[in-house]
Amino acid sequence: MATFIAKAAIRWADIDPNFHVLHSKYYDYCANARMDILSQYGITMQVVQEEHIGPRQQWLLLMEYGWILLNEN
């Protein structure tokens, strides 16, 4: 299985006064990484829009093709 690493730029608006990343931002980082992975396999934003592929279907595609591993144990 291929390994995919995505770097996320943490912006000033992503952190709280204690310099902790806000919980909701982790979802945003994962959503961006998901689209990066799909794009590498030819499933671009244009394809997503044309085929009406929503977030749930995107995850199902990733799982079906073994691009993500849900449980490593």
The DSSP string of 9-56 is PPPGGGB-TTSPBPHHHHHHHHHHHHHHHHHHTT--HHHHHHHT--HH
> How sure is the predictor about 73, in pLDDT bands with cuts at 50, 70 and 90?
very low
CA–CA gap between residue 11 and residue 52 (Å, rounded): 30
pLDDT tens digits for range 2-40:
677 888 889 999 999 999 999 989 888 888 888 888 888
pTM (predicted TM-score): 0.64
**β-pair partners for 15:** 21
Provide the 8-state DSSP code for 60: H
